[in-house]
Amino acid sequence: MNGLITDRGALAVALDNLAWACQNIGHHLGEAVRVDFISILSIFVLACFVGYYVVWSVTPALHTPLMSVTNAISSVIVVGALIAAAAAGSASSKWLGLLAVALASVNIFGGFAVTARMLAMYKKKERRDA
């Protein structure tokens, strides 16, 4: 287990692969591109590997903040909610989107704020001799 935790080399390789996969997606800024399923799948699989190494490197003392911050970032689902809320064409879809925007916002603001509050409490020993 310790081998994995400190395996920065593997992390670097995974990150590198992820960047490579994403190069597939767009090479010219501003040019419209179409993303195919395989590119998306590649990102997903490589991100799972990145997640594996990154999460093993998290210190157990911070597992609660880890849960609250993963909670906050999984609310990136707000992207889908915003698209639905902004789109014309279906009133019910729009209202579902707006409700999802509100729910995800609770999570985004609440999640990051409570994580920040917790992390601010972790302090090192004050050195008396200093």
Q: Shortest approach of another protein to residue 4 CB, angstroms?
A: 10
Give whichever of 28 and 130 is closer to another protein, judged by the CB atom: 28
Shortest separation between residue 30's beta carbon and another protein, angstroms: 6
Torsion of CA 35, 37, 43, 44, to 10 degrees: 140
Contact (CB, 8 A) for 90 and 39 = no
In angstroms, the CA 70 to CA 41 distance is 21
Q: What is the DSSP letter of 109?
A: H
- Least gap, CB of 14 to another protein (angstroms): 10
Beta carbon nearer to another protein, 120 or 130: 120
